[in-house]
Structure formats: structure tokens, C-alpha cells
């Protein structure tokens, strides 16, 4: 099973690299793909307001595709596009705000509060993650994540959020429960991350214990000269 997973990753990396170089050859910039992704995210507001649910879900999927392609092309160019790196942190926020705004406008009496709760929790969650990354880089801490941490990052990260937003666009009536449930899960993970990262940063910033001073007595000189007669 591990060999199959390794081969699958190798094939996916090869296809991603090949596709990225093809886009570079077509003079498609990472910043351009990022702007297309942001435009697709904003389009979900009028689509959800007019109850074009399938079109809104397709826009979310297209956004994720443009976001992934933007990252691949940026990596192929050596992350030299400063505009793409500037837009990158705002793309996910714009997508979540757009979908939540569209859901709130389409059914404010039912979907306003779960949308507001999800926005607040996700913003605080992402702020904590970025702050920890900056502190770890500043202090030279190498973070080692276990299997459980990787699974939690997948569920609460881009993959889990994309699935939640697609389901919310396609079936808005179920978002009242799924929105609160995802926000509660992120709150639990946020509390766990706050405690664990605080302990990790505290251990890494504690000064080393100073060695105890050792009192060394001066050697006693013994005279070996003979007394004169």
C-alpha cells in the first residue's frame, strides 16, 4: 500500500509539474490565475442570491482549480511573482466571505448566524496558524507534525472547507447544521492548537540553565630547597 501511495504521489507531482510548465509556456501568470479565482469567488454572491445553486457550486470548484494552478505555476517560476504571493492570503478569505454573504442574503432568517459564526471562527483560526508559522521561522523551530495533525489540517484546511462550501451552495438548507458543526470543530482544534503551540514556543524560548560555578582552590606550593648550614 505504501508503494502504491508513493507511485501515485510521484505521478501526481509529475503531472502537476508538466501542466505548470505548459501554462508558463502559454505566458499565463500566477497572479492572473489568482485574479480569476477571486472573480469566481465573488460571482457566487449573486448566484446564491438568485438561487442558482448548481452554478454557485461549480464556481467554488472552479475557484479551487484556479487556486491550485496558481500555486503550481508560482512554484514552477520559483515563487518569483510577488503579486501572487500578495494575493494568496486573501483568496481563501474572499471565497468564504462571498459564499457566506450569498447564503445570508438568500435566507437571512435561517443562515445568517451559522454564516457569521463560521466567518469569525475561520478568520481567528487562520490568524493563529499564520502567526505560529511566522514565530517558528523567526526562532528557527522545525515543526514536526504527526499523522493526527496532518489529518486535522486536511479536515479544517482547504480540502474540508471546499467540500463544506460546495455542499452549502448546492444544499443551502443543510448549512444551518453543517455550518455550526464545522465552526464548533474549528473551535475545538483552535483551543488544542493554542495550548500545544504555547507549550512548544515556551520550551523553545526558555534560556538554557547556566552551569554552576566551580570553586577551584589554588595549588599549594611546596618548597624543596635545603636549608643552608
What one-character DSSP code corresponds to residue 13? H
Which pLDDT score, from 0 to 100, does residue 193 have? Answer: 87
Q: Percentage of the chain surpassing pLDDT 70?
A: 81
CB of 169 closer than 8 Å to CB of 57: yes
Buried b (16+ CB within 10 A) or exposed e, 37-53: bbebbbbbbebbeeebb
**Of the segments 54-58, 130-134, 198-202, 223-227, which one has the largest average pLDDT value?**
54-58
pLDDT digits (tens, 9 = 90+) for 96-118: 999 999 999 999 999 999 999 99
Nearest partner of 100 among 125, 130, 85, 120, judged by Cα: 120
CB of 106 closer than 8 Å to CB of 53: no
- The pLDDT of residue 213 is above 80: no
Which pLDDT score, from 0 to 100, does residue 167 have? Answer: 94
Mean pLDDT of 65-80: 84
pTM: 0.79
Nearest partner of 31 among 119, 103, 90, 101, judged by Cα: 90
Which pLDDT score, from 0 to 100, does residue 176 have? Answer: 92
Could you give the residue ranges of the DSSP H alpha helices within 26-52? 30-49
pLDDT digits (tens, 9 = 90+) for 112-160: 999 999 999 999 998 888 888 788 777 776 667 778 888 888 888 888 9
Q: At what angle do helices 158-170 and 30-49 cross, to 10 degrees?
A: 30
pLDDT digits (tens, 9 = 90+) for 163-188: 999 999 999 999 999 999 999 999 99
Residue, of 81 and 204, whose pLDDT is higher = 81
Which pLDDT score, from 0 to 100, does residue 78 have? Answer: 81
Mean pLDDT of 208-220: 53
State the pLDDT confidence band at 229, using cuts at 50, 70 and 90. very low
Residue, of 77 and 160, whose pLDDT is higher = 160
Mean pLDDT of 72-93: 84
Residue, of 219 and 121, whose pLDDT is higher = 121
State the pLDDT confidence band at 85, using cuts at 50, 70 and 90. confident
Q: Which three cell numbers stand for residue 171?
A: 444544499
Amino acid at each position: 500500500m505504501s508503494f502504491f501511495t508513493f507511485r501515485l504521489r510521484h505521478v501526481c507531482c509529475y503531472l502537476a509539474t508538466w501542466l505548470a510548465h505548459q501554462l508558463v509556456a502559454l505566458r499565463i501568470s500566477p497572479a492572473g490565475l489568482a485574479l480569476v479565482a477571486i472573480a469566481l469567488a465573488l460571482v457566487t454572491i449573486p448566484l446564491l442570491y438568485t438561487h442558482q445553486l448548481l452554478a454557485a457550486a461549480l464556481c467554488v470548484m472552479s475557484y479551487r482549480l484556479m487556486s491550485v494552478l496558481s500555486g503550481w505555476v508560482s512554484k514552477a517560476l520559483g515563487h518569483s511573482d510577488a503579486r501572487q504571493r500578495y494575493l494568496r492570503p486573501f483568496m481563501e478569505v474572499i471565497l468564504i466571505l462571498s459564499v457566506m454573504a450569498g447564503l445570508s442574503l438568500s435566507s437571512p432568517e435561517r443562515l445568517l448566524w451559522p454564516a457569521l459564526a463560521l466567518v469569525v471562527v475561520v478568520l481567528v483560526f487562520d490568524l493563529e496558524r499564520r502567526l505560529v508559522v511566522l514565530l517558528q521561522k523567526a526562532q528557527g523551530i522545525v515543526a514536526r507534525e504527526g499523522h493526527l495533525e496532518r489529518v486535522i489540517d486536511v479536515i479544517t484546511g482547504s480540502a474540508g472547507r471546499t467540500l463544506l462550501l460546495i455542499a452549502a451552495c448546492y444544499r443551502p438548507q443543510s448549512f444551518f447544521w453543517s455550518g455550526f458543526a464545522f465552526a464548533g470543530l474549528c473551535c475545538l482544534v483552535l483551543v488544542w492548537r493554542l495550548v500545544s503551540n504555547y507549550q512548544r514556543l515556551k520550551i523553545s524560548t526558555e534560556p538554557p540553565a547556566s552551569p554552576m560555578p566551580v570553586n577551584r582552590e589554588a595549588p599549594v606550593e611546596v618548597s624543596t630547597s635545603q636549608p643552608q648550614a
